[in-house]
Amino acid sequence: MTSQEIMLNILGSQVIQNIEESNEIKYLPIFDNLLENNPSIPALALLRPDGNFIYISNNADISKLPNLLKLEASGASFQHALDNPNKMVLGRTYYFKPIGEWVIPIRKAISTSNGQIKAVLANGFRLKTSSDLFNNGLHMGDYNDIEIIRDFDDYPLHISAENVNQKSRYNKQIPQEIFKQINMALQKVYNTTLDEARHSKDIYTFHLDINGKEVITSIRYDNRYELWTMSHTKHAVITKAIINTVTIYITILITFLLVLFFIFRYIANAEEAKRQELLYQANHDTLTKLPNRNYLINNIHHWIDQKSTPFSVLYIYIDNFKNVNDSFGHHIGDLLMQEIAIRICDFVHKESLVIHMGGDEFIILSREIVHHELNICANQLIAKLSEPYKVEDISFNLSASIGISRYPEDGINLDNILRAADIAMHQSKKQKNTASVFQSEMQDSYLYRVNIEQELKNAIKNQELHMVYQPQLQDGKIIGVEALVRWINPKLGFVGPDSFIPVAESSGMMPPLGEYITNTSLSEIKEVFDATNTEFILSINISLKQFIYREFLSRLVLAIKASGINENQIKLEITENLFIEDFDHIVPLLNKIHDLGMKISLDDFGTGYSSLNILRFLPVDELKIDKSFIDDILTDLSAQKMVRNIIDICTNQNLQVIAEGVETEPQLTMLTDYGCDRFQGYLFAKPMKKDDLIAFIKSSK
Ligand code: C2E
Ligand code: CA
Ligand code: CA
């Protein structure tokens, strides 16, 4: 439109110039040039201000053309052009017969420099072929109309819409009703009026109701050409478009959330699996896959409950398992342990709980609580665990010790119940391959044992130990003494060797204790020899644990040498249990001892299970009849028989025999009758300290 206006200005100035030069309004050749170069311009005309044509292109007959000022359709805009000589004025769209097309007429009044209007230039836009602005395809679809409306009389200049009857539309003003509605909407949405909108370049958008159809309308005013541009879009379409878009976004969102959900679920599942695995590892023994101590602690609430439902704990200790590991390596040890675990699990009831406490200890939690039944059950389990094992072609014989405690009577929390079972187990361990049910006395003896272990550690250093010697006699003369150790502890008082020697043995304190005993005895007895000028045999008790100590013999020999006592004045008292351990190691060692000139006495003879055959292979010099037989010799036939047998063996094997624990004359008489002539016992002398022994020997001379 601007370019049209510029063109009209140029034409106008040419026409005016011509008028001023020749005082004549006439056709100029430039008109034809313009028409040739602007196909969008249907025609070009020059009119007088009174509305009559002076000239029109395309050679129409001017006399037949109407007066535009008087014509209804063009009069208003013609007048408007006369009223606004500086402006290009758009006329009402009409059907221009000469070219058979709808056109938008354009007029511009031309005035001289003193403001006098001399003529009106007219041309127009062809709706079909003109610029993009008046293109029929301007609207977006059948749901959208675009209207360009002339402001001063509300006629539409151009309508871009589907299926529009052009004639009926261009000859009809936009109803006032619509402008009213627009005004109201502007008020409501923008708090402005149509008038104010005319002075703004903004686009206003609002809802309208046109003939019962809800539309969204956008308007903008063109101030220069006094045009409204309006776009009406069916509300439903926009809603649908929004819904479609929203649906797409929601679908994307949901998909995204679903993907996120699955990713998170995957992560959570993986985390959970990892957590479960860690939890499993923390609560189970890696070797046997059985629940461990941790599991027991975490799950004991299933057993220890408010109703104090009773249950029992079986504490199982596999005897000597450590030896398997030491001798055959951990691989075999592990396989064997797995087999043990399987046997235990096969044995127990479903509702029982098997725990691997680690190492060679297992625990069974059972609902069985009857004392008698528990004992049977435990012994069956021991029998099962004692059946031979075969691991990688190696056969093993194991035994087990079981301690049993019961909830709630032996303890109301896990610690106490376990401790009670442990105490009972230690009781069983003393004998091996047995089961014991916890009794409160055990606790006392257990505590006593714990105290002994504690105190014994410093006994040598604190000089709490000393030696006593019990004479051994033949024909009323002293032929030897047995060295016996004594311990007086500030806290525990007098503790008998029967109590603390086993503790020293099981806690690894025997080698130093044994060394103290040997060294003290040797030096004290040397003093006795010197003081009394008498010489006899010194018997020293040697514990199994001293024997397996590698440096035992070399250190003993050194000690004897240092004391100045002759080897053949030394006798070592050993017990049968020595041969359970390692026959192949012990026998050569005994032979060495014997070869050095020392004597060997087999203590407590008859109480163990060593067969007489063994005696033939052993360098034994003496059998010692145990005190328990002497105690019963007067009343018990089997004791008598035993004593007689031992004496017979000694006669046959050419061994010496001695009876210990002789307390009465009748015992002495009977032993003498049977052929025993060496005695040790309270009847003759109690164990005594070095100085008392010196006095004893001197007085008996
Ligand atoms: P054992 O080697 O059989 O020692 C003999 C025990 O019988 C000693 O008890 C002794 O005092 C006691 N006895 C001797 N004659 C009589 C008697 O007529 N009547 C009574 N009632 N008892 C008598 P003790 O000294 O209490 O020793 C007990 C056990 O402790 C010993 O039994 C021995 O196995 C161990 N033991 C004692 N001293 C030592 C030691 O220095 N080294 C080692 N390895 N063990 C020792
Ligand atoms: Ca002894
Ligand atoms: Ca004995």
pLDDT value at 282 more than 80: yes
**What's residue 25's pLDDT?**
77
**What's residue 576's pLDDT?**
78
**CATH class given for the domain over 2-126:** alpha beta
Q: Mean per-residue pLDDT for 543-564?
A: 91
pLDDT value at 130 more than 70: no
Amino acid making up residue 472? Q
Region of 654 please: left (phi>0), alpha (psi -120 to 50) or beta: left
Please give the angle made by the CA atoms of 305, 346 and 417, to the nearest 5 degrees: 30
pLDDT value at 78 more than 60: yes
Of the chain, the percentage scoring pLDDT greater than 90 comes to: 60
Q: Is 494 in the pocket of ligand 1 (CB under 6 A)?
A: no
Each residue's pLDDT tens digit, 650-671: 998 899 999 999 999 999 999 9
Distance CA(41)–CA(343), nearest Å, equals 111
Each residue's pLDDT tens digit, 627-652: 999 999 999 999 999 999 999 999 98
- Name the helix (H) or strand (E) containing 88: none
Q: Is 647 in the pocket of ligand 1 (CB under 6 A)?
A: no
pLDDT value at 129 more than 80: no
Each residue's pLDDT tens digit, 152-167: 889 998 888 877 776 7
**What's residue 612's pLDDT?**
66
Q: Is 329 in the pocket of ligand 1 (CB under 6 A)?
A: no
Same fold, 284-438 and 459-700: no
Domain locations in the chain? 2-126, 137-237, 284-438, 459-700
Between the CA of 676 and the centroid of ligand 1 the distance, in Å, is 20
Q: Which fold has domain 137-237?
A: Beta-Lactamase (3.30.450)
**What's residue 478's pLDDT?**
96
Q: Is 517 in the pocket of ligand 1 (CB under 6 A)?
A: yes
Contacts of 187 (CB under 8 A, 6+ apart): 193
Q: Mean per-residue pLDDT for 329-354?
A: 93
Backbone angles phi, psi at 580, to 5 degrees: -65, -40
Q: Is 687 in the pocket of ligand 1 (CB under 6 A)?
A: yes
Distance CA(610)–CA(651), nearest Å, equals 18
pLDDT value at 134 more than 80: no
Each residue's pLDDT tens digit, 405-460: 999 999 999 999 999 999 999 889 888 789 999 998 888 888 888 899 999 999 99
Q: Is 392 in the pocket of ligand 1 (CB under 6 A)?
A: no
pLDDT value at 33 more than 60: yes
Between the CA of 477 and the centroid of ligand 2 the distance, in Å, is 20
User: Nearest C-alpha to atom 34 of ligand 1 is from which residue?
Assistant: 498
| pTM for the structure as a whole | 0.54
**What's residue 610's pLDDT?**
56
**What's residue 74's pLDDT?**
84
Between the CA of 681 and the centroid of ligand 2 the distance, in Å, is 12
CATH fourth-level superfamily of 284-438: Reverse transcriptase/Diguanylate cyclase domain (3.30.70.270)
**What's residue 675's pLDDT?**
95
**What's residue 292's pLDDT?**
94
pLDDT value at 611 more than 70: no
Q: Is 543 in the pocket of ligand 1 (CB under 6 A)?
A: yes
Q: Mean per-residue pLDDT for 350-355?
A: 93
- Ligand 1, from 452, 481, 484, 546: best to mutate by most atoms within 8 Å of Cβ? 484
Q: Mean per-residue pLDDT for 672-684?
A: 96
Least confidently predicted of 193-207, 345-359, 435-449, 657-671: 435-449
Q: Is 663 in the pocket of ligand 1 (CB under 6 A)?
A: yes
What is the pairing mode between strands 227-234 and 144-150? antiparallel
Q: Is 261 in the pocket of ligand 1 (CB under 6 A)?
A: no
Q: Which atom of ligand 1 is nearest to the CA of 682?
A: 18
Q: Which atom of ligand 1 is nearest to the CA of 680?
A: 15
Average pLDDT, the chain: 90
Q: Is 608 in the pocket of ligand 1 (CB under 6 A)?
A: no
Cβ pair 631, 661 in contact under 8 A: yes
pLDDT value at 581 more than 70: no
Range 459-700 has CATH code 3.30.110.30: no
Which bound ligand lies closest to the C-alpha atom of 505? 1
Distance CA(478)–CA(190), nearest Å, equals 135
Between the CA of 604 and the centroid of ligand 3 the distance, in Å, is 4
Between the CA of 484 and the centroid of ligand 1 the distance, in Å, is 6
Three-class secondary structure of residue 446 per DSSP: helix
Q: What is the dihedral of CA 182, 183, 185, 189, to 10 degrees?
A: 130
Please give the angle made by the CA atoms of 669, 671 and 674, to the nearest 5 degrees: 110
Q: What is the dihedral of CA 94, 99, 105, 111, to 10 degrees?
A: -140
Q: Is 511 in the pocket of ligand 1 (CB under 6 A)?
A: no
Between the CA of 502 and the centroid of ligand 1 the distance, in Å, is 13
**What's residue 217's pLDDT?**
95
Beta strands in 490-576 (DSSP E): 493-495, 537-541, 570-574
Q: Mean per-residue pLDDT for 240-255?
A: 93
Q: Annotate 181-225 with three-state secondary structure.
A: HHHHHHHHHHCCCHHHHHCCCCCEEEEEEECCEEEEEEEEEECCC
pLDDT value at 184 more than 90: yes
Of the chain, the percentage scoring pLDDT greater than 70 comes to: 97
Q: Is 661 in the pocket of ligand 1 (CB under 6 A)?
A: yes
* Residue corresponding to tokens 């063996």: 649
Between the CA of 661 and the centroid of ligand 1 the distance, in Å, is 9
